[in-house]
Amino acid sequence: MADFDPVTKAVVPAAGLGTRFLPATKATPKEMLPIVDKPAIQYVVEEAASAGLLDVLMVTGKNKRSIEDHFDRAFELEEVLEAKGDEHRLSQVREPASLATLHYVRQGEPKGLGHAVLCAKQHVGDHPFACLLGDDLIDRRDELLKRMIEVRDTYGGSVIALMEVPKEQVSLYGVATIEATSEDDVVRVTDLVEKPPAKDAPSNWAIIGRYVIDPAVFEVLENTPPGRGGEIQLTDALRTLAGRGSDQGGPVHGVLFRGRRYDTGDKLDYLRTVVKFAADRPDLAPEFVPWLREFLDEIG
């Protein structure tokens, strides 16, 4: 195995306005919307911590203070629960603050995902890092991020998570042109395009919200003009790195993910995710699943 710098830090962009969930997100960050009884952003931090990344930078924006509060101690609440002898809820309340060391930086203007990642430059420095998007939740049983870090340790450069999507959905994603390697779940990425029309897509392997990125991306992002939607696109920067050698921050590889991914990016997908998580909870499923079957029978 080549001697590449280890991945120890994670960056979580959380500065979006959450307009698809208005009016709920007028005063509440979209990342704090609950998946059953836990905010979506906590699942993301848990995933980073599970992969050994205990230094987590949140890139936030205005009206996101509740994210910081969630990952901080709540002494008054803890005292109340402790006085009641409610050890279960007390441990749940304390858990977020113990997951990792959290840092925060604000993205002053909504200039796109690439710009949000660029905001992490000072904290990350000259080290590779993982980037986890809050709209995508990966099942804890599918250790995608750990696998991506292994691939980075083997090949260097950057690694993106790719998932096969129906052809009619490729226009919603960044899409990769890929070449096979000697490993079944690893491909070489030779080109990337952000949200192409279905007829122009080079494949139906789409980027989902997990990246392991070489620090050379910062220099590229600083020189990347606004792309699709007038925003600085991370996909465009990774496309540049895909054409480089290892001495310049390349190449880019992809991990072909065939596991369980939950999308919370819009209302319908969010509802599906909540139902799936509830149906998988041993404390809820025995009552929830039979009720759900009865309800579906009622509405035909």
Residues 160 and 293 in one domain: no
Whole domain around residue 193: which residue ranges?
9-265
Residues 158 and 253 in one domain: yes
Q: 201 and 95 share a domain? A: yes
- Token readout for 82 is 């402790």
- Mapped to the 3 state alphabet, what secondary structure does 209-247 carry? EEEEECCHHHHHHHCCCCCHHHCCCHHHHHHHHHCCCHH
* Segment 171-195 mean pLDDT: 93
Let me know whether 236 and 285 are in one domain. no
Q: Specify whether 179 is located in the same domain as 286.
A: no
Q: What is the mean pLDDT of the chain?
A: 94
Would you state the structure tokens that stand for residue 267, as one six-digit string? 């209302």
State yes or no: pLDDT of 204 exceeds 80: yes
E-assigned strands of the chain?
A: 9-13, 34-35, 38-39, 55-60, 101-106, 129-132, 136-138, 158-164, 174-180, 186-194, 205-213, 252-256, 261-263
pLDDT tens digits along 245-283 = 888 888 999 999 999 999 998 999 999 999 999 999 999
Residue 226's pLDDT band (boundaries 50, 70, 90)?
confident
- Judgement on whether residues 141 and 255 belong to the same structural domain of the protein: yes
- Say yes or no: 261 and 287 in one domain: no
Q: Is residue 105 in some structural domain? A: yes
Question: Which residue has 């990952």 as its token pair?
Answer: 71
- Residue 125 CA to residue 218 CA, distance in Å, equals 9
